[in-house]
């Protein structure tokens, strides 16, 4: 771990942060307020590691592996365009660090099947598969993905994990694994804490949670025209039919965007909506401006990196190398603690 001395000469230990995304498509505004914004802030204070979790794509997109490469590039572009700085943070690809897979193997022996099945997020996902008539297709790897996620986090011995609320059960599971390992074999892992974003549940255009696969998202890479079109089609307060009707901002999803992206005007818009002083059309028009003003610098940065494929390649190669170094060190500690280094049998004498 990096150590810095503060002005009084005391050693300050930098905390390690790990978080990441599955490369299944471009990132959206929900990702921004739920996590990316925090990442940009934290990279000045902490050692940040951002994992692009390509193995995790296999849990439910087994037939679409050809697109993963392109999606990885999109995710990296999204990261860089919101201000993640590769000089400060490490961006890397899960499958390129074999130590993560190795750690998953050890961890999978430390979690009971009953415990895996108790995970509320996995339970919800299984329920969705049952309803869709796909329960027989659910794989062993899918049910175990929180264990692989624990390895994603613990291979860098992270202290802090930025996640959306749906991921909290996985962090709880990770903490249990870390505690169990430390109890059985000696202290190797910190017990990581979860940090949820400033605005964890940004609704999509239809009022459901914004999701990559739900067709209700505004992407960081959307053009101004697309943003305008999407906001115009967004569902507002269903009880408000005429502009003269008084609105109910608390149940309007457009209002949630004001809360997330235009804190200065929230109060004003709320009053106007409640008193029928602004109609949904004008309110949406204002929001389109706000969102496009917010997205413009992100678009600019994206353009810069889009033209520089080589730079992206270099960033990923350097990130993978750095992450691998951490993985090697952690696996050395793990094997030593578990007596899996077979010192007597295998260590060289010179
Ligand atoms: N499961 C996360 C998601 O779908 C992505 C992810 C993979 C992750 N490994 C992680 C997040 C480790 C935090 C920490 O968004």
Say what the pLDDT of residue 348 is.
Answer: 76
Report whether residue 56 contacts ligand 1, using a CB cutoff of 6 Å: yes
Alpha carbon of 163 to ligand 1 centroid (Å): 7
Atom number in ligand 1 closest to CA 53: 7
Average the pLDDT over each of 34-38, 40-44, 52-56, 201-205 and give the range with the smallest value. 201-205
Say what the pLDDT of residue 20 is.
Answer: 97
Query: Which tens digits make up the pLDDT trace of 258-310?
Result: 999 998 999 999 999 999 899 899 999 999 999 999 999 999 999 999 999 99
DSSP helix/strand/coil, 244:
coil
From the list 70, 147, 142, the residue with the least C-alpha distance to 106 is 147
Report whether residue 149 contacts ligand 1, using a CB cutoff of 6 Å: yes
Buried-state track 41-66, b at ≥16 Cβ within 10 A, e below 16: ebbeebbbbbbbbbbbbbbbbeeeee
Q: What's the pLDDT band for 5 if we cut at 50, 70, 90?
A: low
Report whether residue 18 contacts ligand 1, using a CB cutoff of 6 Å: yes
Report whether residue 254 contacts ligand 1, using a CB cutoff of 6 Å: no
CB 2 within 8 A of CB 45: no
Of 243 and 250, more confident: 250
Say what the pLDDT of residue 9 is.
Answer: 65
Q: What pTM was computed for the model?
A: 0.92
Report whether residue 22 contacts ligand 1, using a CB cutoff of 6 Å: yes
CA distance between the termini of the chain? 29
Residue 40 sits at φ, ψ, to 5 deg, of: -60, -40
Mean pLDDT of 52-65: 92
Alpha carbon of 283 to ligand 1 centroid (Å): 35
Mean pLDDT of 162-173: 92
Distance of CA 180 to the CA centre of its chain: 25
Report whether residue 146 contacts ligand 1, using a CB cutoff of 6 Å: no
Query: Which tens digits make up the pLDDT trace of 65-90?
Result: 999 999 999 999 999 999 999 999 99
Detail the DSSP E strand segments found in 129-232: 160-163, 193-196
Of 109 and 239, more confident: 109
């Amino acid at each position: 771990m990096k150590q810095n001395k503060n002005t009084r000469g005391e050693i300050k230990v930098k905390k390690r942060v790990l978080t990441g995304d599955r490369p299944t498509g471009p990132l959206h505004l929900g990702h921004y307020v739920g996590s990316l914004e925090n990442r940009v802030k934290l990279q000045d204070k902490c050692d940040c590691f951002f994992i692009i979790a390509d193995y995790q794509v296999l849990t439910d997109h087994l037939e679409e592996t050809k697109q993963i490469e392109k999606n990885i590039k999109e995710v990296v572009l999204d990261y860089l365009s919101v201000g993640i700085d590769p000089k400060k943070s490490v961006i890397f690809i899960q499958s390129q660090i074999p130590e993560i897979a190795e750690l998953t193997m050890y961890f999978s022996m430390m979690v009971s099947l009953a415990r895996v099945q108790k995970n509320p997020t996995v339970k919800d996902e299984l329920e969705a598969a049952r309803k869709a008539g796909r329960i027989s297709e659910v794989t062993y790897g899918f049910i175990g993905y929180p264990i692989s996620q624990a390895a994603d986090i613990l291979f860098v011995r992270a202290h802090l994990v930025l996640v959306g609320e749906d991921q909290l059960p996985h962090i709880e599971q990770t903490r249990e694994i870390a505690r169990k390992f430390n109890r059985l074999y000696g202290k190797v892992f910190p017990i990581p804490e979860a940090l949820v974003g400033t605005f964890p549940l940004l609704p999509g255009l239809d009022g459901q949670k914004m999701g990559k696969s739900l067709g209700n998202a505004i992407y960081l890479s959307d053009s101004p025209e697309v943003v305008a079109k999407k906001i115009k089609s967004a569902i507002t307060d269903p009880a408000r039919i005429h502009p003269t009707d008084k609105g109910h901002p608390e149940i309007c999803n457009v209002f949630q965007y004001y809360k997330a992206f235009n804190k200065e005007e929230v109060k004003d818009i709320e009053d106007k909506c409640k008193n029928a002083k602004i109609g949904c059309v004008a309110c949406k028009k204002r929001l389109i401006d706000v969102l496009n003003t917010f997205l413009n610098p992100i678009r600019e940065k994206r353009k810069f990196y889009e033209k520089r494929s080589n730079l992206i390649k270099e960033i990923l190669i350097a990130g993978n190398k750095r992450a691998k170094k951490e993985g090697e060190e952690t696996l050395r500690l793990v094997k030593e603690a578990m007596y899996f280094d077979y010192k007597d049998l295998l260590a060289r004498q010179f």
